[in-house]
Structure 1
Protein backbone atom coordinates (compact mmCIF):
# COMPACT_ATOMS: atom_id res chain seq x y z
CA UNK A 1 0.00 0.00 0.00
CA UNK A 2 1.27 3.48 -0.87
CA UNK A 3 1.61 5.92 2.00
CA UNK A 4 1.18 9.67 2.41
CA UNK A 5 2.95 11.37 5.31
CA UNK A 6 1.18 14.62 6.21
CA UNK A 7 3.26 16.94 8.41
CA UNK A 8 1.62 20.12 9.67
CA UNK A 9 3.27 22.85 11.75
CA UNK A 10 0.70 25.64 12.11
CA UNK A 11 0.30 27.13 15.58
CA UNK A 12 -3.44 26.80 14.97
CA UNK A 13 -3.23 23.05 14.42
CA UNK A 14 -5.66 21.66 11.88
CA UNK A 15 -7.48 25.02 11.77
CA UNK A 16 -4.44 26.75 10.30
CA UNK A 17 -4.64 27.68 6.63
CA UNK A 18 -1.55 25.69 5.70
CA UNK A 19 -3.00 22.62 7.45
CA UNK A 20 -6.30 23.09 5.63
CA UNK A 21 -4.56 23.37 2.27
CA UNK A 22 -2.57 20.22 3.02
CA UNK A 23 -5.80 18.41 3.91
CA UNK A 24 -7.45 19.65 0.69
CA UNK A 25 -4.51 18.33 -1.29
CA UNK A 26 -4.71 14.93 0.41
CA UNK A 27 -8.47 14.67 -0.08
CA UNK A 28 -8.05 15.47 -3.77
CA UNK A 29 -5.27 12.91 -4.10
CA UNK A 30 -7.35 10.25 -2.36
CA UNK A 31 -10.16 10.86 -4.84
CA UNK A 32 -7.75 9.89 -7.60
CA UNK A 33 -5.89 7.18 -5.69
CA UNK A 34 -8.03 5.90 -2.79
CA UNK A 35 -5.64 3.09 -1.84
CA UNK A 36 -3.22 5.43 -0.04
CA UNK A 37 -2.64 5.09 3.69
CA UNK A 38 -2.32 8.50 5.40
CA UNK A 39 -0.05 9.18 8.38
CA UNK A 40 -0.67 12.50 10.15
CA UNK A 41 2.09 14.22 12.13
CA UNK A 42 0.80 17.42 13.79
CA UNK A 43 3.79 19.27 15.23
CA UNK A 44 1.57 21.76 17.07
CA UNK A 45 -0.37 19.07 18.91
CA UNK A 46 2.71 16.94 19.54
CA UNK A 47 5.88 19.03 19.16
CA UNK A 48 9.29 17.46 18.81
CA UNK A 49 11.71 18.76 21.47
CA UNK A 50 14.58 20.90 20.30
CA UNK A 51 17.76 18.94 19.79
CA UNK A 52 20.35 19.32 22.53
CA UNK A 53 23.93 18.08 22.94
CA UNK A 54 22.96 15.02 24.97
CA UNK A 55 20.43 13.79 22.41
CA UNK A 56 22.72 14.54 19.47
CA UNK A 57 25.59 12.62 21.03
CA UNK A 58 23.26 9.74 21.82
CA UNK A 59 22.44 9.24 18.13
CA UNK A 60 26.08 8.32 17.48
CA UNK A 61 26.62 5.74 20.22
CA UNK A 62 25.55 2.11 20.40
CA UNK A 63 22.03 1.57 21.80
CA UNK A 64 23.30 -0.24 24.90
CA UNK A 65 25.59 2.69 25.70
CA UNK A 66 22.86 5.34 25.71
CA UNK A 67 21.59 7.06 28.83
CA UNK A 68 17.84 7.01 29.49
CA UNK A 69 17.40 10.49 27.98
CA UNK A 70 19.46 9.51 24.94
CA UNK A 71 17.44 6.36 24.50
CA UNK A 72 14.17 8.32 24.52
CA UNK A 73 15.52 10.81 21.99
CA UNK A 74 16.78 8.03 19.72
CA UNK A 75 13.47 6.18 19.92
CA UNK A 76 11.62 9.36 18.96
CA UNK A 77 14.01 9.96 16.08
CA UNK A 78 13.71 6.34 14.91
CA UNK A 79 9.91 6.60 14.90
CA UNK A 80 9.90 9.83 12.91
CA UNK A 81 12.37 8.40 10.41
CA UNK A 82 10.32 5.23 10.05
CA UNK A 83 7.33 7.36 9.00
CA UNK A 84 9.48 9.12 6.42
CA UNK A 85 10.93 5.89 5.10
CA UNK A 86 7.46 4.36 4.71
CA UNK A 87 6.06 7.39 2.89
CA UNK A 88 5.83 7.52 -0.89
CA UNK A 89 4.41 11.05 -0.78
CA UNK A 90 5.22 13.81 1.71
CA UNK A 91 2.59 16.54 2.14
CA UNK A 92 3.92 19.42 4.22
CA UNK A 93 1.73 22.22 5.58
CA UNK A 94 4.08 25.18 5.97
CA UNK A 95 3.17 28.57 7.42
CA UNK A 96 5.71 31.38 7.55
CA UNK A 97 6.50 32.86 10.96
CA UNK A 98 8.80 35.88 11.19
CA UNK A 99 10.36 35.20 7.77
CA UNK A 100 11.09 31.54 8.44
CA UNK A 101 9.77 28.07 9.08
CA UNK A 102 8.11 27.25 12.42
CA UNK A 103 10.59 26.25 15.12
CA UNK A 104 8.63 23.01 15.60
CA UNK A 105 9.39 22.02 12.01
CA UNK A 106 13.07 22.87 12.43
CA UNK A 107 13.16 20.61 15.50
CA UNK A 108 11.51 17.85 13.46
CA UNK A 109 14.11 18.26 10.72
CA UNK A 110 16.90 17.99 13.30
CA UNK A 111 15.53 14.67 14.51
CA UNK A 112 15.20 13.08 11.06
CA UNK A 113 18.60 14.14 9.69
CA UNK A 114 20.67 11.15 10.86
CA UNK A 115 24.00 10.26 9.29
CA UNK A 116 24.00 6.70 7.98
CA UNK A 117 20.20 6.49 8.13
CA UNK A 118 18.65 9.32 6.12
CA UNK A 119 21.87 10.58 4.52
CA UNK A 120 25.50 9.58 4.29
CA UNK A 121 28.76 11.40 3.73
CA UNK A 122 30.90 10.40 0.74
CA UNK A 123 34.09 11.69 -0.87
CA UNK A 124 31.89 13.78 -3.16
CA UNK A 125 29.76 15.16 -0.35
CA UNK A 126 26.51 14.13 1.36
CA UNK A 127 24.09 11.76 -0.37
CA UNK A 128 20.44 11.47 0.67
CA UNK A 129 19.09 8.00 1.43
CA UNK A 130 15.35 8.75 1.10
CA UNK A 131 15.22 8.78 -2.67
CA UNK A 132 12.25 8.04 -4.92
CA UNK A 133 9.71 10.10 -2.96
CA UNK A 134 7.55 13.06 -4.00
CA UNK A 135 6.95 16.06 -1.77
CA UNK A 136 4.25 18.72 -1.91
CA UNK A 137 4.63 21.84 0.23
CA UNK A 138 1.50 23.89 0.94
CA UNK A 139 2.82 27.20 2.20
CA UNK A 140 0.88 30.19 3.56
CA UNK A 141 2.11 33.71 4.25
CA UNK A 142 0.51 36.88 5.56
CA UNK A 143 2.45 39.03 3.09
CA UNK A 144 3.96 38.63 -0.38
CA UNK A 145 7.35 36.94 -0.36
CA UNK A 146 7.52 34.44 -3.22
CA UNK A 147 10.47 35.16 -5.48
CA UNK A 148 11.94 37.80 -3.17
CA UNK A 149 15.04 37.66 -0.93
CA UNK A 150 12.73 37.50 2.10
CA UNK A 151 11.40 34.09 1.05
CA UNK A 152 13.83 32.09 3.13
CA UNK A 153 11.48 29.12 3.39
CA UNK A 154 11.41 27.83 -0.18
CA UNK A 155 15.17 27.48 -0.65
CA UNK A 156 15.70 26.10 2.85
CA UNK A 157 13.01 23.43 2.59
CA UNK A 158 14.12 22.41 -0.90
CA UNK A 159 17.75 22.18 0.25
CA UNK A 160 16.87 20.17 3.34
CA UNK A 161 14.65 17.69 1.52
CA UNK A 162 17.28 17.28 -1.23
CA UNK A 163 19.84 16.62 1.51
CA UNK A 164 17.72 13.61 2.47
CA UNK A 165 17.35 12.54 -1.17
CA UNK A 166 13.89 14.03 -1.81
CA UNK A 167 14.35 16.28 -4.82
CA UNK A 168 10.94 15.97 -6.51
CA UNK A 169 9.28 18.88 -4.68
CA UNK A 170 6.29 20.99 -5.69
CA UNK A 171 5.22 24.15 -3.85
CA UNK A 172 1.71 25.59 -3.59
CA UNK A 173 1.65 29.20 -2.37
CA UNK A 174 -1.13 31.17 -0.67
CA UNK A 175 0.23 34.64 0.05
CA UNK A 176 -1.22 37.92 1.22
CA UNK A 177 -3.54 36.27 3.71
CA UNK A 178 -3.22 39.23 6.11
CA UNK A 179 -3.74 41.87 3.42
CA UNK A 180 -7.52 42.04 3.54
CA UNK A 181 -10.44 39.76 2.75
CA UNK A 182 -10.21 40.13 -1.02
CA UNK A 183 -6.49 39.31 -1.12
CA UNK A 184 -7.04 36.37 1.22
CA UNK A 185 -9.84 34.86 -0.83
CA UNK A 186 -7.94 35.37 -4.06
CA UNK A 187 -4.86 33.65 -2.62
CA UNK A 188 -6.81 30.66 -1.33
CA UNK A 189 -8.66 30.29 -4.65
CA UNK A 190 -5.36 30.37 -6.48
CA UNK A 191 -3.90 27.72 -4.19
CA UNK A 192 -6.96 25.51 -4.72
CA UNK A 193 -6.57 25.85 -8.48
CA UNK A 194 -2.89 24.91 -8.25
CA UNK A 195 -3.82 21.82 -6.24
CA UNK A 196 -6.29 20.79 -8.97
CA UNK A 197 -3.54 21.15 -11.56
CA UNK A 198 -1.07 19.09 -9.56
CA UNK A 199 -3.41 16.20 -8.81
CA UNK A 200 -4.18 14.66 -12.18
Structure 2
Protein backbone atom coordinates (compact mmCIF):
# COMPACT_ATOMS: atom_id res chain seq x y z
CA UNK A 1 0.00 0.00 0.00
CA UNK A 2 1.29 3.45 -0.94
CA UNK A 3 0.66 6.81 0.68
CA UNK A 4 -0.18 9.52 -1.86
CA UNK A 5 0.04 13.23 -1.05
CA UNK A 6 -2.25 15.34 -3.26
CA UNK A 7 -1.01 18.93 -3.00
CA UNK A 8 -3.43 21.58 -4.28
CA UNK A 9 -2.22 25.14 -4.92
CA UNK A 10 -4.90 27.36 -6.41
CA UNK A 11 -7.01 30.08 -4.82
CA UNK A 12 -9.99 29.47 -7.11
CA UNK A 13 -13.16 27.99 -5.65
CA UNK A 14 -13.94 24.32 -6.06
CA UNK A 15 -15.17 23.63 -9.58
CA UNK A 16 -13.57 26.74 -11.13
CA UNK A 17 -9.97 25.59 -11.46
CA UNK A 18 -9.08 23.92 -14.75
CA UNK A 19 -5.97 22.48 -13.12
CA UNK A 20 -8.05 20.88 -10.36
CA UNK A 21 -10.55 19.44 -12.85
CA UNK A 22 -7.76 17.50 -14.52
CA UNK A 23 -6.07 16.64 -11.21
CA UNK A 24 -9.33 15.40 -9.67
CA UNK A 25 -9.91 13.14 -12.68
CA UNK A 26 -6.37 11.81 -12.18
CA UNK A 27 -7.20 11.04 -8.52
CA UNK A 28 -10.46 9.29 -9.42
CA UNK A 29 -8.71 7.07 -11.96
CA UNK A 30 -5.85 6.39 -9.55
CA UNK A 31 -8.30 5.28 -6.84
CA UNK A 32 -9.95 2.83 -9.25
CA UNK A 33 -6.60 1.20 -9.95
CA UNK A 34 -5.19 1.45 -6.41
CA UNK A 35 -8.14 1.10 -4.01
CA UNK A 36 -5.93 0.15 -1.06
CA UNK A 37 -3.72 3.25 -1.25
CA UNK A 38 -4.14 6.13 1.17
CA UNK A 39 -4.65 9.54 -0.44
CA UNK A 40 -4.05 12.60 1.73
CA UNK A 41 -5.38 15.89 0.29
CA UNK A 42 -3.40 18.99 1.24
CA UNK A 43 -5.05 22.20 0.04
CA UNK A 44 -2.40 24.84 0.74
CA UNK A 45 -4.90 27.71 0.94
CA UNK A 46 -7.02 25.82 3.47
CA UNK A 47 -3.85 25.10 5.46
CA UNK A 48 -3.03 28.83 5.59
CA UNK A 49 0.55 28.23 4.50
CA UNK A 50 2.49 31.45 5.10
CA UNK A 51 5.95 32.84 4.51
CA UNK A 52 8.64 31.85 6.98
CA UNK A 53 9.13 34.24 9.90
CA UNK A 54 12.31 34.81 11.97
CA UNK A 55 10.78 32.84 14.85
CA UNK A 56 10.36 29.80 12.58
CA UNK A 57 14.06 29.43 11.83
CA UNK A 58 14.99 27.85 15.17
CA UNK A 59 12.71 24.88 14.53
CA UNK A 60 13.78 24.48 10.93
CA UNK A 61 17.52 24.62 11.57
CA UNK A 62 17.46 23.14 15.08
CA UNK A 63 17.76 19.50 16.16
CA UNK A 64 15.07 17.05 15.02
CA UNK A 65 13.46 14.68 17.55
CA UNK A 66 10.04 13.12 18.22
CA UNK A 67 8.53 16.46 19.26
CA UNK A 68 9.59 17.97 15.91
CA UNK A 69 6.83 16.01 14.18
CA UNK A 70 4.26 18.20 15.92
CA UNK A 71 6.00 21.49 15.14
CA UNK A 72 3.55 23.76 13.21
CA UNK A 73 5.92 23.99 10.24
CA UNK A 74 8.10 20.88 10.47
CA UNK A 75 4.99 18.67 10.48
CA UNK A 76 4.64 19.45 6.74
CA UNK A 77 8.19 18.29 6.00
CA UNK A 78 7.60 15.04 7.92
CA UNK A 79 4.29 14.51 6.12
CA UNK A 80 5.98 15.07 2.76
CA UNK A 81 8.84 12.68 3.58
CA UNK A 82 6.36 10.05 4.77
CA UNK A 83 4.54 9.91 1.41
CA UNK A 84 5.46 7.55 -1.42
CA UNK A 85 3.90 9.47 -4.32
CA UNK A 86 3.05 13.11 -4.94
CA UNK A 87 0.42 14.78 -7.09
CA UNK A 88 1.00 18.52 -7.34
CA UNK A 89 -1.87 20.48 -8.89
CA UNK A 90 -0.64 24.01 -9.51
CA UNK A 91 -1.40 26.27 -12.48
CA UNK A 92 1.19 28.50 -14.12
CA UNK A 93 1.13 31.92 -12.48
CA UNK A 94 3.31 34.65 -13.96
CA UNK A 95 5.56 32.10 -15.70
CA UNK A 96 6.09 30.12 -12.49
CA UNK A 97 4.12 28.52 -9.64
CA UNK A 98 1.69 30.17 -7.19
CA UNK A 99 3.57 31.89 -4.35
CA UNK A 100 1.84 29.71 -1.76
CA UNK A 101 3.41 26.61 -3.33
CA UNK A 102 6.86 28.18 -3.07
CA UNK A 103 6.11 29.02 0.58
CA UNK A 104 5.14 25.37 1.14
CA UNK A 105 8.38 24.24 -0.48
CA UNK A 106 10.22 26.45 2.01
CA UNK A 107 8.35 24.56 4.77
CA UNK A 108 9.42 21.14 3.47
CA UNK A 109 13.02 21.93 2.43
CA UNK A 110 14.46 20.88 5.77
CA UNK A 111 17.89 19.39 6.42
CA UNK A 112 17.61 15.99 8.04
CA UNK A 113 14.07 15.39 6.75
CA UNK A 114 13.96 15.82 2.97
CA UNK A 115 17.70 16.19 2.31
CA UNK A 116 20.99 16.24 4.15
CA UNK A 117 24.45 17.71 3.77
CA UNK A 118 27.45 15.43 3.39
CA UNK A 119 31.16 15.93 2.76
CA UNK A 120 30.29 15.70 -0.93
CA UNK A 121 27.44 18.22 -0.76
CA UNK A 122 23.66 17.93 -0.41
CA UNK A 123 21.95 14.55 -0.85
CA UNK A 124 18.22 13.93 -1.23
CA UNK A 125 16.59 11.63 1.31
CA UNK A 126 13.47 10.78 -0.70
CA UNK A 127 14.75 8.14 -3.09
CA UNK A 128 12.51 5.74 -5.03
CA UNK A 129 9.48 8.02 -4.93
CA UNK A 130 7.63 9.62 -7.80
CA UNK A 131 5.59 12.70 -8.58
CA UNK A 132 3.28 14.17 -11.17
CA UNK A 133 2.77 17.89 -11.75
CA UNK A 134 -0.59 18.86 -13.22
CA UNK A 135 -0.64 22.39 -14.63
CA UNK A 136 -2.82 24.55 -16.86
CA UNK A 137 -1.21 27.40 -18.80
CA UNK A 138 -2.80 30.30 -20.61
CA UNK A 139 -0.51 30.03 -23.63
CA UNK A 140 2.00 27.70 -25.27
CA UNK A 141 4.94 27.54 -22.84
CA UNK A 142 6.23 23.99 -23.16
CA UNK A 143 9.96 23.96 -24.04
CA UNK A 144 10.25 27.76 -23.90
CA UNK A 145 12.57 29.83 -21.68
CA UNK A 146 9.50 31.48 -20.13
CA UNK A 147 8.32 28.31 -18.39
CA UNK A 148 9.91 28.33 -14.94
CA UNK A 149 7.34 26.62 -12.70
CA UNK A 150 7.63 23.04 -13.88
CA UNK A 151 11.40 23.39 -14.25
CA UNK A 152 11.66 24.62 -10.66
CA UNK A 153 9.47 21.80 -9.31
CA UNK A 154 11.51 19.18 -11.16
CA UNK A 155 14.72 20.71 -9.81
CA UNK A 156 13.62 20.89 -6.16
CA UNK A 157 12.07 17.41 -6.27
CA UNK A 158 15.31 16.10 -7.77
CA UNK A 159 17.18 17.84 -4.96
CA UNK A 160 15.04 15.82 -2.51
CA UNK A 161 15.95 12.64 -4.41
CA UNK A 162 12.69 12.30 -6.39
CA UNK A 163 13.84 11.62 -9.94
CA UNK A 164 10.68 10.20 -11.50
CA UNK A 165 8.57 13.28 -12.27
CA UNK A 166 5.87 13.45 -14.94
CA UNK A 167 4.12 16.60 -16.14
CA UNK A 168 0.57 16.86 -17.43
CA UNK A 169 0.31 20.33 -19.00
CA UNK A 170 -2.89 21.74 -20.48
CA UNK A 171 -1.65 24.55 -22.73
CA UNK A 172 -3.32 27.51 -24.46
CA UNK A 173 -6.37 27.58 -22.19
CA UNK A 174 -6.66 31.39 -22.45
CA UNK A 175 -5.94 31.78 -26.17
CA UNK A 176 -8.84 33.23 -28.15
CA UNK A 177 -10.43 30.80 -30.59
CA UNK A 178 -9.12 27.69 -28.83
CA UNK A 179 -11.68 24.97 -28.14
CA UNK A 180 -11.34 24.93 -24.35
CA UNK A 181 -13.68 21.98 -23.92
CA UNK A 182 -11.55 19.91 -26.28
CA UNK A 183 -8.36 20.99 -24.47
CA UNK A 184 -9.84 19.93 -21.13
CA UNK A 185 -11.04 16.60 -22.50
CA UNK A 186 -7.56 15.89 -23.89
CA UNK A 187 -5.99 16.81 -20.55
CA UNK A 188 -8.37 14.57 -18.62
CA UNK A 189 -7.74 11.64 -20.97
CA UNK A 190 -3.99 12.04 -20.59
CA UNK A 191 -4.32 12.30 -16.83
CA UNK A 192 -6.40 9.13 -16.66
CA UNK A 193 -3.90 7.19 -18.78
CA UNK A 194 -0.96 8.29 -16.63
CA UNK A 195 -2.91 7.59 -13.42
CA UNK A 196 -3.36 3.97 -14.47
CA UNK A 197 0.39 3.33 -14.24
CA UNK A 198 1.37 5.90 -11.58
Query: What does 1:156-167 correspond to in 2, within 5 Å?
Result: 156-167=152-163
CA drift of 1:63 comes to 7.6
CA drift of 1:96 comes to 1.0
Looking at structure 2, the residues matched to 13 and 165 of structure 1 have their Cα atoms a distance apart, in angstroms, of 33
Per-residue deviation, residues 112-142 of structure 1 (Å, max 9, x unmatched): 0001221011232211111121101101111
| TM-score, normalisation: structure 2 | 0.88
Gapped regions of structure 1 (runs ≥ 5)? 65-70
User: Equivalent of 2:111, from 111, 115, 118?
Assistant: 115
Seen in structure 2, the aligned counterparts of structure 1 residues 76 and 186 have a Cα distance that, compared at 3 Å, is same
Looking at structure 2, the residues matched to 83 and 106 of structure 1 have their Cα atoms a distance apart, in angstroms, of 17
User: Aligned-residue CA RMSD in angstroms?
Assistant: 2.3
Per-residue deviation, residues 161-195 of structure 1 (Å, max 9, x unmatched): 11111111000011111124644223212212222
Seen in structure 2, the aligned counterparts of structure 1 residues 154 and 62 have a Cα distance that, compared at 3 Å, is closer
* 1:95 paired residue number: 91
Looking at structure 2, the residues matched to 81 and 134 of structure 1 have their Cα atoms a distance apart, in angstroms, of 16
* 1:10 paired residue number: 10
* 1:24 paired residue number: 25
Gapped regions of structure 2 (runs ≥ 5)? none
**SS of equivalent residue, structure 1 residue 20:** helix
Q: Is the 8 A contact 2:59 2:74 kept in 1?
A: no
* 1:67 paired residue number: none
| TM-score, normalisation: structure 1 | 0.88
Query: What does 1:1-200 correspond to in 2, within 5 Å?
Result: 1-15=1-15, 16-62=17-63, 75-180=71-176, 182-198=178-194, 199-200=196-197
Q: How many residues are treated as equivalent by the alignment?
A: 194
Seen in structure 2, the aligned counterparts of structure 1 residues 25 and 120 have a Cα distance that, compared at 3 Å, is same
* 1:68 paired residue number: none
Looking at structure 1, the residues matched to 156 and 92 of structure 2 have their Cα atoms a distance apart, in angstroms, of 16
